[in-house]
Amino acid sequence: EDQVTQSPEALRLQEGESSSLNCSYTVSGLRGLFWYRQDPGKGPEFLFTLYSAGEEKEKERLKATLTKKESFLHITAPKPEDSATYLCAVQEPSGGYQKVTFGTGTKLQVIP
């Protein structure tokens, strides 16, 4: 069964304290791995797409990396406004459809 597992479920950081979120996946044929940010009461906001092992993407204090079995979202010197739930999703072909499976997210809290 295809799975996407995110860890930790929740993470509390001091402002400026760097850390990483993990997304491990088991799918038959990865077409893409996505990271989203979700604020309370809002829809997920697309951050990055990674397509192949070794690929990296950066945006401000966030950097996403990909291996054959997992992805990391590195947060460097986080600020309180980085507090949100971060979702990982993987895309694979499934018949005529590009199936997307979401993880349950990591809830990040950055304390001033």
Partner 1 sequence: NAGVTQTPKFQVLKTGQSMTLQCAQDMNHNSMYWYRQDPGMGLRLIYYSASEGTTDKGEVPNGYNVSRLNKREFSLRLESAAPSQTSVYFCASSETGFGGYTFGSGTRLTVV
Which residue, 40 or 112, has its beta carbon nearer to partner 1? Answer: 40
- 32 and 90 Cβ atoms separated by less than 8 Å: yes
How many Cα atoms are found within 13 Å in the side-chain-facing hemisphere of 21? 32
By CB under 8 A, residue 69 contacts partner 1: no
Closest contact distance (angstroms) between CB of 21 and partner 1 is: 15
Paired sense of beta strands 97-102 and 84-94, if any: antiparallel
Q: How far is the CB of 46 from partner 1 (least distance, A)?
A: 4
Amino acid letter at 107?
K
- Contact between 97 and partner 1 per CB under 8 A: yes
* Closest to 7 measured CA to CA, from 99, 86, 101, 109: 86
103 binds partner 1 (CB under 8 A): yes
Considering beta carbons, is residue 71 or 91 the nearer one to partner 1?
Answer: 91
CA atoms within 13 A on the CB side of 57: 17
Which stretches of the chain bind partner 1, using CB under 8 A?
4, 31-32, 34, 36, 41-49, 87, 89, 91, 96-98, 100-105
